Amino acid sequence: MTGRHGCFSTIVASFVYLAALQATSASAGSCPPDCGEPAAPPSAVNIYSETTADHLSPATLDALPRVYVPNHASNTVSVVDSTTLKEVDRFPVGRQPQHVVPSWDLKTLWVTNNASRTKMGSLTPIDPKTGKPGKTIPTTDPYNMYFMPDGSSAIVVDEAYKRLDLRDPQTMAMKSFIPTPTCHGVNHADFAADNSYAIFTCEFSGGGLVKVDLSTKKVVGSLKLSKRGMPQDIRLSPDGKVFYVADMMNDGVFLIDGDSFTEIGFIPTGIGSHGLVVSRDGTKLYVANRGSRKMKGASPHGPGSVTVIDFATRSVTAQWPVPGGGSPDMGNVSADGTQLWLSGRFDGEVYKFDTISGAVTKVRVGVEPHGLTVWPQPGRYSLGHTGNMR
């Protein structure tokens, strides 16, 4: 029998069958494993679910809307009003500032001044409620800084000495350190979805990665990338499955399976792939291409650009050049996700990209701007760098 009446008969028959099955199970005094309510499907992992625009923490409510730009070669931090798009302050910090890092508790912004191997580096705190610096703390070679996911320690990336210094997250007093002897130029990191390990990039000696177990605080693996380049920034996909690694010499990003610690792919992006920023809705990855593979002395107004990668398809969806040339480096997105801010490393400026159209506005700052941060940003806590929020 077909048509509407046939469907009705089939439904009735199905109900009769289910009733009989339940009656049989009851009479037997037990229930088969599959006769109860079906198990709810496991919820999809999204490590950026707490970093969307509607998740600003109370700890950031009084923060000024600012962009903090470390000027590496002029030993200053420029403060840009993200509303008026003007530099409203510039103050001295330690030697060779590299990154402005939000603290784990979101109450302080730390400037990492790594100086040089022969001179003591330092950390300069900034109060985001006033935009003013505090007293600088001497520390050994702090190129970058991250935090243990539970907030128990700051992880100061001591690049020159191939180690990760574990410090008190408030006072920055030294607690212990993790040697990374095979990682030449240890610099950037991201953390597994379950916070069990972190992967750090090794910039020099052909390029590679190291995997650090966060419970034992030991290096548990190393990986040489296939094209022997110069890995820079690293970020994890929203589903927690793939680490994206920008490589400045190979002009693209490597894809790494973190659990098996294996290389699984490569996506070409642009010349001098360097910084990685996740979109505010967690669906896209912005790749800052500096337009040069040089570490120093690159000409200004190079062919810098931003590549937009869709996480779901692992494909490039847009390419945004810098009008008139430029050198996009490191940065982050605004709280509402409409603005992507990046430093122009070889041009003494910062760029505000419209994240819908890719249109660019430029603001002049100091010499060799590097790892800027936009503040405030949504999230429960900061894992470090320029705002790796979770």
The CA distances from residue 40 to 33, 36, 37, 43, 77, in Å, are 15, 12, 9, 8, 51
- How far from each other are the two terminal CA atoms of the chain, in whole angstroms? 57
Record the tokens describing residue 346, joined without a space: 């070889």
Tens of pLDDT, residue by residue over 339-369, are 999 999 999 999 999 999 999 999 999 999 9
Q: What was the pLDDT predicted at 4?
A: 38
Instruction: Give the tens place of pLDDT for each residue, 317-327.
Output: 999 999 999 99
* pLDDT range class, residue 49, cuts 50, 70, 90: very high
- pTM of the predicted model as reported, rounded to 2 decimal places: 0.89
Report the sign of the C-alpha dihedral through residues 332, 334, 339, 342, in that order: negative
Phi, then psi, of 356 in degrees rounded to 5: -95, -50
Residues 159, 168 contacting (CB under 8 angstroms): no
Q: What per-residue confidence (pLDDT) applies to 117?
A: 66
Would you say residue 192 has pLDDT above 50? yes
Q: Say if residue 39's pLDDT is above 80.
A: no
Q: 265: which 2 tokens?
A: 């792919």
- Whether pLDDT at 86 is above 90: yes
CATH annotation of 58-375: 2.130.10.10
The predicted pLDDT at position 297 comes to 85
